């Protein structure tokens, strides 16, 4: 987002704790503080400051968002809050849009994600509401799906092109026609800045790419970027569940295209497109991700942070082969 704003000629000020990547963007003004007004200097460095627009990309607890939004509202023209597609209560309907019900918290004052991050989405929904309440008709809420591309430290998306580069028989989850939605971080950044520039108001699903993407299509794109032949073995969702290999701990990005999760990768993005969201091709995203990965130090590339291990993959493939022939 910073790079997008700079490219478009904006003067950018950063507010953060200065604990991570503090050396980034040395040419920009940096305000130090904490999202939590009860910690350290809190939001003091923002007091009295005036900005044309604010982009809030790290709000996880509604109390924090409420504090910053209410402080900034009198002196700032527009507020963009980066939420998440996880804010929705259900994922069982294909093609649902921004009018779908959002998740709720059993206790709105609770400030923890839960053991399995089960409160992440409902907390994001409350954060949205806090931003909208403070800025009223000057708030834009962006709900991205999986944010992917170069510099993604989670390795969830990166796993796939890196795995294809390694070659051999690849465990491919579900069916090649299973839908996949991701948003390139560069496209998300451009859209957030575009929304700020235009005073865009409302809620928008930022899911891509522009054309329908399937798991098979993603793997084919990875093969093109890697310059290798693709050798996938498609393993059904129910068998992966039996093997305990569903979810980001095992198979990242992909979600079973069935039951309660059938709509997870099919959210409507039409409102965002109408508001100016544009997508680069999946080939661009995959190639840039792979290029970034190979720029990393050898120590970093020793172990992906997401995805099934080579040993577990071989075990599941052997078990599936035995099931089919048994």
Q: What residues contact 294, with CB distance under 8 A and at least 6 apart?
A: 301
Q: What is the pLDDT of residues 255-306, one digit of tens each?
A: 999 999 999 999 999 999 999 999 999 999 999 999 999 999 999 999 999 9
Residue 179's closest CA among 243, 104, 254, 100?
254
Checking if the pLDDT of 248 tops 60, the result is: no
Q: What is the pTM of this model?
A: 0.95
d(CA 161, CA 165): 6
- Going from N- to C-terminal start, the domains of the chain cover 2-325
Write the DSSP string, 134-165: HHGGGEEEEEESEEESTT-TT-TTTHHHHHHH
Say if residues 260 and 241 touch (Cβ distance below 8 Å). no
Q: What residues contact 300, with CB distance under 8 A and at least 6 apart?
A: none
pLDDT-based confidence at 250, cuts 50/70/90? confident
> According to the model, what pLDDT value does residue 66 have?
98
Token pair of 94 as six digits: 């294909």
| CATH for the stretch 2-325 | 3.40.50.720
Token pair of 303 as six digits: 């172990």
Q: How many residues does the chain have?
A: 326
> According to the model, what pLDDT value does residue 65 have?
98
Q: What is the pLDDT of residues 115-168, one digit of tens each?
A: 889 999 999 999 999 999 999 999 999 999 999 999 999 999 999 999 999 999
C-alpha Rg value of the chain to the nearest Å? 21
Write the DSSP string, 27-89: TSEEEE--SSTTSTTTTGGGTT--EEEEEE----SHHHHHHHHHHHGGGEEEEEEE--GGGBS
d(CA 227, CA 248): 26
- In terms of Cβ atoms closer than 10 Å to its own Cβ (0-12, 13-18, 19+), residue 141 is buried
Instruction: Report the DSSP pairing between strands 179-184 and 208-214.
Output: antiparallel
CA angle 135, 146, 222 (to 5 degrees): 150
Percentage of the chain modeled with pLDDT above 70: 98
d(CA 177, CA 193): 33
Judge if the upstream peptide bond of residue 277 is cis by omega within 30 degrees of 0. Answer: no
d(CA 282, CA 284): 5
pLDDT-based confidence at 245, cuts 50/70/90? confident
């Amino acid at each position: 987002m910073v790079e997008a704003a700079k490219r478009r000629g904006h003067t950018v000020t950063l507010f953060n704790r200065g604990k991570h990547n503090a050396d980034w963007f040395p040419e920009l003004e940096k305000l130090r503080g904490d999202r939590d007004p009860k910690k350290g200097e809190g939001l003091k460095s923002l007091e009295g400051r005036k900005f044309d627009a604010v982009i809030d990309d790290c709000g996880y607890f509604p109390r924090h968002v409420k504090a910053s939004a209410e402080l900034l509202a009198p002196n700032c023209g527009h507020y963009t809050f980066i939420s998440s597609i996880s804010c929705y209560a259900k994922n069982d309907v294909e093609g649902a849009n921004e009018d779908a019900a959002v998740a709720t918290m059993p206790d709105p004052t609770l400030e923890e994600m839960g053991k399995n991050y089960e409160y992440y989405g409902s907390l994001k929904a409350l954060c949205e509401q806090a931003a909208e309440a403070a800025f009223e008709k000057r708030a834009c809420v962006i709900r991205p799906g999986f944010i992917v591309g170069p510099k993604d430290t989670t390795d969830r998306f990166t796993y796939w092109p890196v795995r294809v580069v390694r070659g051999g028989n690849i465990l491919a989850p579900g069916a090649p026609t299973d839908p996949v939605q991701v948003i390139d971080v560069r496209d998300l950044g451009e859209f957030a800045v575009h929304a700020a520039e235009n005073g865009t108001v409302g809620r928008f699903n930022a899911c891509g790419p522009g054309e329908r993407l399937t798991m098979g299509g993603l793997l084919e794109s990875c093969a093109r970027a890697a310059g290798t032949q693709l050798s996938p073995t498609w393993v059904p969702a129910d068998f992966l569940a039996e093997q305990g290999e569903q979810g980001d701990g095992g198979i990242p990005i992909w979600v079973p295209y069935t039951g309660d999760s059938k709509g997870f990768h099919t959210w409507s993005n039409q409102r965002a497109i109408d508001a100016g969201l544009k997508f680069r091709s999946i080939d661009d995203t995959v190639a840039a991700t792979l290029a970034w990965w190979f720029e990393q130090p050898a120590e970093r590339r020793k172990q992906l942070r997401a995805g099934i291990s080579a040993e577990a993959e071989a075990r599941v493939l052997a078990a599936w082969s035995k099931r089919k022939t048994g």
